[in-house]
Structure 1
Amino acid sequence: PFVTLFHWDLPQTLQDLYEGFLDRQIIQDFKDYADLCFKEFGGKVKHWITINQLYTVPTRGYAVGTDAPGRCSPMVHTKHRCYGGNSSTEPYIVAHYQLLAHATVVDLYGTKYKFQTGKIGPVMIT
């Protein structure tokens, strides 16, 4: 089977506590979550997707605000209402922390769970 660790389903609690992927704390929390998943399901799962659609979360969630968490600058012309945000900086911060979270989890798998002989990577769309 294939398992996706993150497919636009960030717990609301993490968004409320520290704004999710806008804060570096997400890297450790994502690592802890992945560690639990690898430990509990690694014997059955051979294909891990760390983050699905690395491109669309920063752009649609933080640049234009069409998808969760719906953040963008007031000047962005969209049919959707934005809930705060800065379209000129937040997409880059989110992309940066997503890549660091991905790399941290890949490193974790390679150092602690390599014996499970699975494959791990992101899904990219352009």
Structure 2
Amino acid sequence: MVAEKIRDRSNGDVAVDSYHKYKEDIELIKDLNMDAYRFSISWSRVLPKGKLSGGVNPEGIKYYNNLINELLAKEMILETMLNFCFKEFGDRVKHWITINEPWSVSMNAYAFGKFAPGRCSDWLNLNCTGGDSGTEPYLTAHNQLLAHSAAVNLYRIKYKVFYCLKKITYYYSGMSRPLQRRPMFMLQNEVSTSCLDGKY
């Protein structure tokens, strides 16, 4: 976390504590008559050293198995982002989100400097830690798409025989309208929309 990017220098070390309170969370969701739950699988929780050769954390696997089983017991539809988890969870989880809101990450972290690591061009935000708003968001988006493709390819090669999964990238899409109904404003609006949605 980049502390200087947080106004009161606080952190999210504990936050809502879903790790310990997931059963209560699921009960609340069910009480609200919701039938879906979107969550992320933290790679550092299941692969503490960042790769399989570094060992798998059995407590992390146990937590996600318990969470998924509890959701299924409450008849929830699961949507989650992919990590290495096809093998551990793919027999029950049928909807996977590979990258969560890639536009928000690439633009807010590497164009506007709002999210960690807080990079952007100095002409855009005086509080930036360096960066280039004209190139870095696109390089980030490119790498996100490569990661999504690699995840889909892994599934097709290794797991397609066993599981029937749906894979999507969940991305934020803003809506814009031209300021005036004049050709230049209309064209600018079209280019803006194409740049945002067309990137993904």
Q: TM-score, normalised by structure 1?
A: 0.68
Counterpart CA distance in 2 for 1:40 and 1:2 is: 18
Q: Which residue of 1 aligns with 2:166?
A: 119
Over residues 72-94 of structure 1, what are the superposed CA-to-partner deviations in whole Å (9 max), with x where a residue is unaligned? Answer: 1111136xx32221111101100
Q: Residue 93 of structure 2 corresponds to which residue in structure 1?
A: 45
> Distance between the aligned counterparts of 1:118 and 1:2, measured in 2?
16
Distance in 2, Cα, partners of 1:3 & 1:107: 22
Partner of 2:23: none
- Paired with 1:118 and 1:5, the residues of 2 have a C-alpha distance of 16
Q: Indicate the residue corresponding to 2:131 in structure 1.
A: 85
1:1-126 equivalence runs, <5 A = 4=40, 34=83, 36-77=84-125, 81-114=127-160, 115-126=162-173
Q: Tell me which amino acid in the other structure corresponds to 2:110.
A: Y
Provide the residue aligned with 2:27 in structure 1: none
Instruction: Give ranges in structure 1 of 5+ residues lacking alignment.
Output: 7-12, 15-32
Whether contact under 8 Å (1:3, 1:48) holds in the other structure is no
Structure 2 CA distance for aligned equivalents of residues 87 and 56 of structure 1:
14
May I ask how many residue pairs the two structures share in their alignment?
99
Identity percentage of aligned residues: 47
- Runs of 4+ aligned residues of structure 1 deviating over 6 Å after TM superposition are none
Query: Aligned letter for 2:99?
Result: I
Select between 111-120 and 96-105 the one with higher mean Cα deviation: 111-120
Q: Structure 2: which 5+ runs fail to align?
A: 1-36, 43-48, 51-81, 174-200
Name the structure, 1 or 2, with higher relative contact order (CA <8 Å, separation 6+): 1
Counterpart residue type for residue 164 of structure 2: T
In the TM superposition, residue 62 of structure 1 has moved relative to its aligned partner by: 0.2
CA displacement, residues 76-120 of structure 1 (integer Å, 9 cap, x when unaligned): 136xx3222111110110000101110111111122111211211
**Considering only aligned residues, what root-mean-square deviation do their CA atoms show, in Å?**
2.4
